[in-house]
Structures are given as structure tokens and as C-alpha cells.
A and B are shown apart, each in its own frame.
Chain A
Amino acid sequence: MDQQQVRERLAEIVGADHVTDESFIRLTYTRDFGTQPPRWPAYVVRPGTTEEIAAVLQLATELEIPVSPRGGGSAQEGGCQSEGGIVLETLRLDRMLEIDEDTGTVTVEAGITFGKLMNELEERGWKIGIAPSGALAGTVGAHLSRPGVGWGNIKYVSQGEQVIGVKAVLPTGEVVETGTAANPASDSFFRYALGPDLAGLFIGAEGAFGVVTEATLRMYPWPEQIYLERYVGSNLTDAVDIFREIALHNLVCYISVPVIKPDMILFDVNVEGDEAEVEHNMERIRGIISEYDTVTYEGPEGPQAFWDYRWFKTGEEFKQGIAGAVNYFLPFEKLEEATLTMREIIERHGIREYAQQMFPEPTGSEHVSLLFHHPDDQKEYEKIQRAMDEMMDTALALGGAPYSKGRQWGPHLERHLGDTGYWGVLKSLKTALDPSHIMNPGVLGL
């Protein structure tokens, strides 16, 4: 079947307006927000329903054409790229399906952006637990597929933790609902139901096992108070001890550590709840911090100004250029070693602009390195690629768990985990669910 015939078959499914093989359009789908090399899809499709996605995947399996799901295209590891296959963009699936105030859940289509979701909930006095930095562009389906950390990491852990159930399309076109919604007589109100947690198969899987088309997430009453305070530390050991203690006692919604330099660690704490709860938690946080004379109080004004326009402000960081990101989770005890090791690698490779950051979780932290370059600067880009390769191997050797894997981490994961039972099970599952190996080949190293 030639390219035109495939396009026509796709057009029969999604409509001619929602499929393209125009080269100038495909050009704009060759990259994401990061530094992976461009990959050219043969087609881009924009289905509007779960049924259309099922038909696209059925066709792709029949014709053995790879398919890469894409939300807002704002991830950094190349997970939504496709070389010669179909990029399946989910942005037309952008509806709020149900806000259930009795169960405290919200059901949405996978292509809804966080900006829209959060705004609609806030108008009704509700909020979700976690949203990514790129909330204005990023979609729910893409976020939980990574598995979705962000603003709210300590109290709400990850988007995966917030999922009650998903509706997903398997590569063969079958539609599966998870949790209580697997029972046709039931809605989605409890995740761990009826058998194994099938939602977990799709969380963090980056489309390797299918395409998430709907998700039911927990939602929470909008807190009476949200209070932020900023501190600056000069000693990383002390700072990490503080993060661990605050996280252990679950005193904050999140701690953000956007700047880690050799002599400066800037961090904000965000506390939410009723007035008494906020006051109580802040008292305990200040008590913890007061034990360390390497930390100074900066006050609430800076982080509050950030918070008020937070989803826009997160984008300002990238004035420094396109960022190659090496993000992974580590236990608290390894954060200092990782920071110093990564800094040594970055500087040895002569990277001109970079940032190190942490976003603590309850049991460890996301550790972030951003290596910036101007896309016109090929020499710097190549240096960054070499540094990132070394950093990813180093992170895995340290026991790190990459956050968003995409195609960037694929070969490294296979190299480090290839002999493990986990990897064997993963590959068996892949073969069982995706016999033609069409679903986002290359992500996770599969």
C-alpha cells in the first residue's frame, strides 16, 4: 500500500481534514520541547474520539505502521516523535466529561490541557493534586504517561497517584477501562478493584502499551489558604536534610528548589489547608529550618508573585535556550552526590549554560539538570548530547529512576536493565499486547 492509499485509509477513519502527509506540516511535528534529533513522521492524524483512535491503531497494526501518541508536544525526551510512522495527536480530545463532587473525581478526555482543567475546577471550588510546569500546553494523557510529577509533589506525589482509572486503546484496537469502571455497570470511583491494577500498565508507559483516551483523577476542595515562603541555603547537605524532614512529616504541598549552585540553594515551600493547618505546618517548617544556620529567610513576596502567575512564569526559564533535560528520581541520601557528580560532568564537557534543580517527593526527590543551548549553535548542541549520554548512564548507575524516558533514555535503560526480570516481563507484556510492535517503538527502550 503506497503513501496515498494509507492516507486515504486514515482519512476514512478520522476525516480528510484530520490527517496529513504534507511535508511542511510534518516538519513541525519532528521535534518536541527538548533536544532529541528531529524525526520525520510519515503522517500526522488528529482523531476526535476513542473509537477513531481504536480504528487508527487497528489499521496501523494491520499495516505494521508505528504510532506515537502526542499531547501538547511539550515533553523533552522525544517520546512523541515518530520516524516514518504516524504521530497521533490527541488535542481534539479536550472535553471535561464529568465532575463528580460526591466521589471527588473528575473525568476528562486525554487531550485536555491542564490550564483548561484547572480553571474549570477552580471556578467550581475544586483543584487537582498535581500539574506539570508546562500546564498551559501539556495534556492530562501525556502527563500521566510519564508518570507525571509537578507542582504538588509531596502532598500528592504524582499524577499516577491521582489516577482512579483510565480508558485506553490497545494496539490491536481493543478498548479497555480500568479500576471499577471495568465493570460495565459501574463508574470510575476506585482504582484497585476487580483484579490487578491495569491503570498502572499505562501510567509512565509513554504509549508503549496503548493510547490513553480518558482519565478519571482525584480532585480536592480548593484550600482555604495557600501560603508560600522562600529560603536560601548555602550548604547542600543541610538543605537536603531539611527537604527530607519536611517531606517525611508531609508538611507541604510542595518544595520547589529551582536553583542549586555551589554556594546557593534557593527553595520555596508551599503550604495549603485551613488557617490553623497552614499556621501549624509553617510553625513546624520554620522550627526545622531554624536548626540550620546555613539557611536564611527570604519571605513570602517572591514566591507569592511567582504563584499568582505560575503557569506562565515556568516558561520564562527557557529564555536561556532549548533545554536538554536529564531528570530522574533518587532517594534523599544520594542527592548531594548526584548534584556534585552531574555538575562535574556538565563542567567537564564545557557546557556554557545549565541549571540544577530538585523537586522533592515524599520518599526522595526528582533531580533535574537542564543544559541550555541556542538551536543555531550546533557545536554546543553536540557537547550537550555527549554530556547527557554520560549523565544518563551515571544516573542509572547511581540507582536513579528516570522521570520521562522517551527515546532519550531508551538505549540507556536497555543497557542497564536488559538482564533483569523486570525487563523480561516488560518485553513479554509488550509482545502480548502489541504483537506487531507498532506502539511508540523506541520509548522505554522497547
Chain B
Amino acid sequence: MLEKYRQELFDCSRCGFCRVWGWSGVDHVCPTYPFTAGWETHYARGRVRLAQATLDGEVEITEPLLEHAYVCTLCGSCEAHCPVGLPLTEIFHAWRQDLAEAGHALPEHERMMALMKRYLNPYGPKAEEPEAEEQKTASVLYYPGCTTNRMAPEIVDAVTSSLGKLGIDFALFQEDTCCSIPLYEIGQMSDARAIAEQTLALIEAYEPDVLLTTCPACYRAFRSIYPEELGLTVDVDVQHITEFLLPRVPDHVMEVVKKVTWHDPCILGRHLEMYDEPRELLQSIPGLELVEMDSNRENGLCCGAGGGVYFAAQRTARDAVGARLKEAEATGAEEIVTSCPNCHVRFRQGTRILRMDMRAKSIAEIIDEALEAAPAEGEEG
């Protein structure tokens, strides 16, 4: 795969603008670099050199090399700040595919892969099996995704509550499966496809017209990765919760007086360029003051968990989330709001560890709060 990017890979001018800026609302370009040992190989310029060397067989692939290669969240910030315009996210993903195809993987990722294969879920079996609900078909199917199901059930509660208040007939995806993005991100494409096929078959059983997602990774998987990179046909209208709610919610919200700041999830923002919809949704709530962090939109700092970093380098991920939370706290916001369960869970843990007064909220919870006192009247889904 990397061969496809040979020209671009060698177009790197080695300027080093992908490390830290400290200027124009961009403190550090690479969200994890400041929380590593700080070698060249811990940010894009050095990784490009390693990818070149991998392509030309100049370097032995060792576990330490893999650790440096994979402490990258694929957040796209280096790409957004590359003056030469290199498609760095695609390059690094292609590099991972080549490494995976050659049989290389970090032990932490191998453990996650084994869980995925066995349970269709990177977190393994549930502690308790939930009571099985009767599966129903519905026009709108809400697919929470693995991280939301396991680690942020409050998002599921908020979405189901909001949809109910809006009078939307929907079904909740009952199975505990993953969209397979964690495998995709670490370059394990054949395993990702195998999981995706099974998940897609389970989704199709609900016969939905609209597949509603809250997790940006699931959204991107169904919308573009399945059809474009895994060769799967997704015959359903995939929508993210923000775009789904935006035309439906504003007429039904009550005043919610609070100050919040919005964190652009990398996948929703830099990858899919959905910057305005969540802001418009939040600003449709009377009394809610939306304040921006120093780095926002295409400059927004990553939470540090994506791209498999959460599984392989938890300490770095934890430090990176701390940096983002401090940026949020500096705005004076009472809550840091996002739509990605991965970011949300790290924010929730981080605010507790850092003993912050600021709370972490998902956008679904905010909307549900605003809808609470204003039940909708018979809007169809």
C-alpha cells in the first residue's frame, strides 16, 4: 500500500513544521509528541523517514520501532499543518497496512485483535449478559458502537431518551459488536473486513433506512471506509447524531443556562470536516454559551486516544488528554462537550483524575437536557 504513496512520501521537505508551532492557536501540532521521549520518530517528520526506510527495506522492523510508529493517533493534525500538503494520514495508514501484512503487530494490539475476533468487540465479553430484548425492524436504527456501549452508556440513555421525546420511532442496535475501526486504524485490513461483514449483516437484519451513529468512528466506517476501503456495500443512509438532530431539535428546546466548550473529534472534524453542525446544534439551545478553545476546528488538539494509541500507549494517551482538558478549562467552560465516545470517556476520566470542576458531557446528553422540559409533539422519524 505504501508504494502507492511513494511520490508523496518522498515529497517531504523535512521542514519540521509538523512538530510544535506555539503560534496561531496551534501549540503542538502532534498531540502525542510532547508526552513521548521526544525523538524525531515521535512525530510526523521522523515517521515519514521511517516509512521511507520501510518501503525501501532499509530498516529492520522491531518492536521498539513499532511502538514509535503506533504512538500516532492518525488525528490528521500534521497533515492539516503540512505546508507541502502531504496526505500524511493516508501515508501512515498505508504504512500500518504494510507492517500488518508483513505480520508485525504490537503485543497490545494483538490482544485487542484476539478479542475482536472472538467477541466482535475490542473490550472482550461483557461482565453480565443483558436481558435480550425482542429485535424489531425500524426506519431509524441507532448504533451506539462498542465504546459507547461499554464505557459510556449515558450516551445510549441520552439518545434513546431524546429520540423518544422527539417522537421518533427507532430501534436500538442490541448486539455488542464493533464497527471494526480499531482494526482498520492499526492496519489490520483483512480482520477489519471480516468483523465489518458480520456487523453489517447484523445491522441489515433491522432493515433500517437510516443508520444513526453517535461515534464518529462508526459514522466514518459505515459512510466511507466500508464502501471505499473494505469493499462492502452499505445500502442505508448513514447519519451522525448532530446532522440528524439539527433540523429536528431547535423547535423543541428549552433554556439551558451554562457555558460549554466544544471539542472537535478528529474524525468528525479534520477527517469529515463536520465543524459547523455540532456548533449550530449547541447554539440552538437558548441560554447556552458556547466558547471556543484556543485550538479548535482544523487546529483542534486530539484527545490522544485514537489510532490505537489508547490500546498501546495508555500513559501517553492520558497525558495528551490532560493537555486538551487544560485548554478547555482555560475557557472557563463548565462542561467540555463532544460527540465521540472515545474522547468523552477520556475527558470524563481526565477531569476526575485532574480534580477539575469542569464536567465531560456528550452532545447527546446536552440535547437531552434541553429537550427534557419540552416533550415534542408527534414528529415522525
| Chain A residues within CB distance 8 Å of chain B | 17-18, 20, 22-25, 27-29, 31-33, 44, 46, 72-74, 91-92, 113, 115-120, 134-137, 309, 311-316, 318-319, 321-323, 374-376
Contact = CB atoms under 8 A, between A and B. Distances in A.
B39 A318 contact: no
A316 to B, nearest CB: 5
B17 A136 contact: yes
A117 B22 CA distance: 8
A43 to B, nearest CB: 12
A27 B22 CA distance: 27
Q: Which of B7, B13, B19, B83 has the most CB of A within 10 A?
A: B13
B17 A312 contact: yes
B354 interface: no
Q: Chain B interface: which size bin?
A: 35 or more
Contacts of A92: 38
Nearest to A44: B39
Interface of B: 6-7, 10-11, 13-17, 19-24, 37-41, 45-46, 49-50, 53, 58-60, 62, 64-65, 68, 81, 83-85
A17 B37 contact: yes
A97 B329 CA distance: 25
A137 B17 contact: yes
B80 to A, nearest CB: 11
Name, among B17, B41, B62, the residue most crowded by chain A CB atoms within 10 Å (CB to CB): B17
Given A24-B68, A46-B38, A319 B84 contact: yes
A28 B37 CA distance: 15
Contacts of B60: 23-24
A28 B22 contact: no
Nearest to A135: B23
Contacts of A314: 83
Contacts of A116: 20-23
A17 B315 CA distance: 15
B68 A376 contact: no
Contact of B39 (A20, A322, A374): A20
Contact of B41 (A24, A321, A322): A24
A27 B83 contact: no
Given A18-B37, A24-B62, A27-B50, A322 B23 contact: no
A17 B36 CA distance: 9
Chain A at the B interface: mostly helix, strand, loop or mixed? Answer: mixed
Nearest to A73: B16
B84 A318 contact: yes
A315 B14 CA distance: 10
Given A24-B53, A24-B68, A27-B53, A315 B11 contact: no
B23 A311 contact: yes
Given A28-B39, A136-B23, A319-B84, A33 B17 contact: no
Given A118-B23, A137-B19, A316-B84, A23 B37 contact: no
A374 B10 contact: yes
Contact of B19 (A20, A72, A323): A72
15 contacts: A23-B59, A27-B58, A32-B14, A46-B37, A72-B16, A91-B38, A116-B23, A119-B23, A134-B15, A134-B17, A136-B16, A137-B15, A312-B17, A322-B14, A374-B7
Nearest to A323: B13
Contacts of B53: 24, 27
Contacts of B41: 24-25, 28
A323 B23 CA distance: 25
Nearest to A70: B40
A315 B12 CA distance: 11
Contact of B11 (A44, A91, A374): A374
A73 B21 CA distance: 14
Contacts of B11: 319, 321, 374
Contacts of B21: 113, 115-116, 136, 311
B304 to A, nearest CB: 19
Contact of B14 (A33, A113, A135): A33
A164 to B, nearest CB: 22
B13 to A, nearest CB: 4
B24 A309 contact: yes
A33 B83 contact: no
B290 to A, nearest CB: 23
A312 B80 CA distance: 11
B50 A24 contact: yes
Contact of A113 (B7, B22, B46, B81): B22
Contact of A73 (B14, B62, B84): B14
Given A17-B37, A119-B24, A316-B83, 5 more contacts: A117-B22, A312-B83, A315-B17, A318-B83, A321-B13
Nearest to A311: B23
A227 B49 CA distance: 40
Contact of A115 (B22, B40, B84, B85): B22
A49 to B, nearest CB: 15
A318 B86 CA distance: 12
Contacts of A375: 10
A92 to B, nearest CB: 7
A299 B41 CA distance: 44
A92 B20 CA distance: 12
A115 B20 contact: yes
Contacts of B40: 25, 28-29, 73
B82 to A, nearest CB: 8
A58 B40 CA distance: 25
Contacts of A31: 14
A74 B13 CA distance: 10
Contacts of B37: 17-18, 46
A117 B14 CA distance: 22
Nearest to B53: A27
B306 to A, nearest CB: 23
Contacts of A135: 23
A140 to B, nearest CB: 12
A315 B83 contact: yes
Contacts of A72: 16, 19
Nearest to B81: A312
A92 B37 CA distance: 10
Given A25-B39, A315-B15, A119 B10 contact: no
B299 to A, nearest CB: 11
A18 B23 CA distance: 26
Contacts of B59: 23-24, 27
A24 to B, nearest CB: 5
Nearest to A314: B83
A284 to B, nearest CB: 32
Nearest to A320: B13
A319 B82 CA distance: 10
Contacts of A374: 7, 10-11
Contact of B16 (A23, A33, A309): A33
Contacts of A91: 38
B370 to A, nearest CB: 36
Q: A-B pairs with the 8 shortest C-beta distances?
A: A315-B83, A116-B22, A137-B16, A318-B13, A115-B23, A28-B40, A28-B46, A115-B22
A204 B37 CA distance: 30
Nearest to A117: B22
B298 to A, nearest CB: 12
A374 B52 CA distance: 13
A375 B12 CA distance: 9
